[in-house]
């Protein structure tokens, strides 16, 4: 407490009892928590834009950095800081910053780190908007790119130039579930003195920690499995101290794509059950993938932890579970896919993913609709591909619903 009796909170409040050796499941519940003098057990929601100062001199000191309290929620907020610290603990990252959405995280990581004249190499299998940022927005600022097949390490090596400053990869990728070797690509980045960014939205830190494999920067859409119940948008950037101080912090402070304290509070509390939920998502997704693989009308199933997945061995090496998303190609193309979706009674048709509710989408006509047909062919996004985000309902009910859908094909 200050002399005026008001609680004082530092930019990074003393994190209470520090558990340097705590394991991931404990960190997900305890990591980053800082309590006010009321000693609340649950994390406090600081829904405030600003902070009052004890004196004019203190306000001045905050702005020079001599006093490290909060100034304004665009620069920092105690609830957002708790979420960031917990995410950093789970990813094994030195620093974390939360953003308004996953795309705010992806675009901020790229724009903060790149200058006009720089070059980016990215695996072409990725979320539609990530591709738009790299292939449409960055070129307007004089930043060029090369898109390659992420599983081909020679393609990575061949694409890197003297101007390459960043490598970008999504693994598992949306919606094809391609797996990229993080350690091998990180080594290529190191040799080029470039930084590897990994979009870890599909795995979440519960199943994969890219920094342990050498990634320099990790980005998340916390809208997905981290929220886990389809409520709030959010994003996270995890990085080293140098990148944060020199590039990211000035970019975020001045452009303002920050997360709302309310969304940070929701996602902070969500992290407490992330590990439990991801185990249940994986268990259900594995059952559903096996069920689909046994159906005559299903041509192909894509699930990283099934032996018929081309990235199976790699997925086993760098992930501790196959994730909650299953891709499958239904015989009969778009008509069959639409008929299947329209016959479902439990699974919702939605382009979101990572929800407790099972959600299905047809990437060709929704999330990847803007791509040219030959680009979709290249990526393996055919007219019969469906992306199923397997929820936490009873797996038998999900399979029965799919059975109903397949009967309509």
Which two structure tokens, joined as six digits, stand for 224? 């997905």
Buried b (16+ CB within 10 A) or exposed e, 80-98: bbbbbbbbbbbbebebbbb
Q: Indicate the residue among 70 and 225 with the shorter CB distance to ligand PLP.
A: 225
Contact residue for ligand PLP among 101, 171, 204, 358 (CB under 6 A): 101
* Binds ligand PLP (CB under 6 A): choice among 96, 130, 189, 268: 130
Binding segment for ligand PLP (CB under 6 A), chosen from 126-134, 153-161, 298-306, 384-392, is: 126-134
For position 323 contacting ligand PLP by CB under 6 A, the verdict is no
Q: Which residues contact 60 (CB under 8 A, 6 or more apart)?
A: none
What are the residues whose beta carbons fall under 8 Å from the beta carbon of 78, sequence distance 6 or more? Answer: 9, 13, 34, 44, 46, 70
Q: Is 201 in the site for ligand PLP (CB under 6 A)?
A: yes
Q: Torsion-angle region of residue 16: left (phi > 0), alpha (psi -120 to 50) or beta?
A: left
Q: Provide CB contacts within 8 A for 116, sequence distance 6+.
A: 141, 142, 143
Among 51, 70, 83, 127, binds ligand PLP (CB under 6 A): 127
Nearer to ligand PLP, 67 or 181 (CB): 181
CA atoms within 13 A on the CB side of 118: 20
CB of 100 vs ligand PLP, minimal distance in Å: 8
CB of 16 to ligand PLP, least distance (A): 30
165-194: which residues touch ligand PLP (CB under 6 A)? 170, 174
Of 46, 42, 48, 12, the closest CA to residue 30 belongs to 42
Indicate which single residue of 32, 230, 235, 391 sits in contact with ligand PLP (rule: CB under 6 A): 235
Give 107 or 195: the residue with its C-beta nearer to ligand PLP. Answer: 107
Can residue 223 be called a binding residue for ligand PLP (CB under 6 A)? yes
Structure tokens at 226: 């981290």
If one asks whether residue 209 binds ligand PLP (CB under 6 A), the answer comes out as no
Out of 143, 218, 233, 385, point to the residue binding ligand PLP (CB under 6 A).
Answer: 233
368 near ligand PLP (CB under 6 A): no
Contact in structure between 173 and 201 (CB atoms under 8 Å) = no
With respect to ligand PLP, which residue has the nearer C-beta, 73 or 174?
Answer: 174
The residue number with the shortest CB distance to ligand PLP is: 102
Select 218 or 399, whichever has its Cβ closest to ligand PLP: 218
Q: Which residues of 12-46 are buried (b: 16+ CB within 10 A; e: fewer)?
A: ebebeeeeeeeebeebbebbbbbbeeeeeeebbbb
Residue 362 binds ligand PLP (CB under 6 A): no
Give the Å distances, CA to CA, from 365 to 263, 340, 358, 373. 30, 15, 19, 11
HSE (CB half, 13 Å, CA atoms) of 121?
26
Min. distance of Cβ 379 from ligand PLP in angstroms?
A: 14
> Is the Cβ of residue 292 or residue 325 nearer to ligand PLP in the bound state?
325
Residue closer to ligand PLP by CB (options 10, 370) is 370
Q: Are 152 and 169 in contact (CB under 8 A)?
A: no
In the complex with ligand PLP, which residue's Cβ is closer, 62 or 145?
A: 145
Nearest approach in angstroms of CB 112 to ligand PLP is 17
**319 touches ligand PLP by CB under 6 A:** no
Q: Are the CB atoms for 166 and 120 separated by under 8 Å?
A: yes
Judged by CB under 6 A, does residue 151 bind ligand PLP? no
Helix (H) or strand (E) holding 54: none
Q: Which stretch binds ligand PLP (CB under 6 A): 68-76, 113-121, 218-226, 330-338?
A: 218-226
Measuring CA to CA, how many Å separate 155 from each of 198, 238, 257, 379?
A: 17, 26, 34, 15
By C-alpha distance, which of 319, 52, 382, 357 is closest to 231?
357
| CA dihedral of residues 238, 242, 243, 246 (deg, nearest 10) | 140
Find the part of the chain contacting ligand PLP (CB under 6 A) among 34-42, 53-61, 95-103, 391-399: 95-103
- Site for ligand PLP, rule CB under 6 A: 101-103, 106, 127, 129-130, 170, 174, 199, 201-202, 221, 223-224, 233, 235
């Amino acid at each position: 407490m200050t002399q005026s009796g008001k609680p004082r909170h530092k930019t990074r409040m003393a994190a209470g009892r520090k558990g340097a050796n705590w394991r991931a499941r404990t960190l997900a519940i305890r990591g980053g928590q800082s309590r006010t003098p009321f000693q609340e057990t649950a994390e406090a929601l600081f829904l405030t834009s600003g902070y009052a100062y004890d004196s004019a001199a203190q306000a001045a000191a905050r702005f020079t950095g001599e006093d490290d309290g909060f100034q304004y929620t665009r620069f920092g907020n105690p609830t957002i800081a708790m979420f960031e610290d917990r995410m950093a603990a789970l990813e094994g990252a030195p620093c974390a910053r939360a953003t308004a959405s996953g795309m705010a995280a992806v675009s901020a990581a790229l724009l903060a780190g790149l200058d006009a004249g720089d070059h980016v190499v990215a695996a072409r299998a990725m979320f539609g908007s990530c591709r738009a940022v790299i292939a449409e927005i960055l070129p307007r600022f004089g930043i060029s790119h090369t898109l390659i097949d992420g599983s081909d390490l020679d393609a990575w090596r061949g694409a890197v130039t003297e101007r390459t400053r960043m490598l970008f990869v999504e693994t598992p990728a949306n919606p094809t579930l391609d797996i990229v070797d993080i350690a091998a690509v990180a080594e290529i980045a190191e040799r080029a003195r470039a930084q590897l960014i990994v979009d870890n939205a599909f795995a979440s830190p519960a199943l994969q920690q890219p920094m342990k494999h050498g990634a320099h920067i990790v980005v998340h859409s916390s809208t997905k499995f981290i929220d886990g119940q389809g409520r709030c948008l959010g994003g996270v950037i995890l990085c080293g101290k140098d990148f944060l101080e020199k590039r990211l912090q000035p970019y975020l402070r001045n452009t303002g794509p920050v997360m709302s304290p309310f969304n940070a509070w929701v996602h902070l509390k969500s992290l407490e059950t992330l590990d439990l939920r991801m185990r249940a998502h994986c268990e259900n997704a594995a059952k559903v993938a096996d069920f689909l693989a046994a159906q005559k009308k299903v041509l192909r199933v894509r699930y990283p932890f099934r032996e018929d997945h081309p990235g199976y061995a790699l997925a086993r090496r760098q992930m501790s579970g196959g994730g909650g998303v299953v891709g499958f190609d239904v015989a009969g193309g778009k008509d069959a896919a639409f008929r299947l979706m329209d016959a479902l009674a439990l699974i919702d048709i939605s382009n979101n993913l990572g929800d407790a509710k099972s959600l299905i989408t047809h990437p060709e006509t929704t999330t990847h609709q803007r791509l040219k047909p030959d680009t979709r062919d290249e990526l393996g996004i055919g007219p019969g591909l469906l992306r199923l985000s397997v929820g936490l309902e009873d797996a038998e009910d999900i399979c029965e619903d799919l059975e109903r859908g397949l009967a309509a094909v």
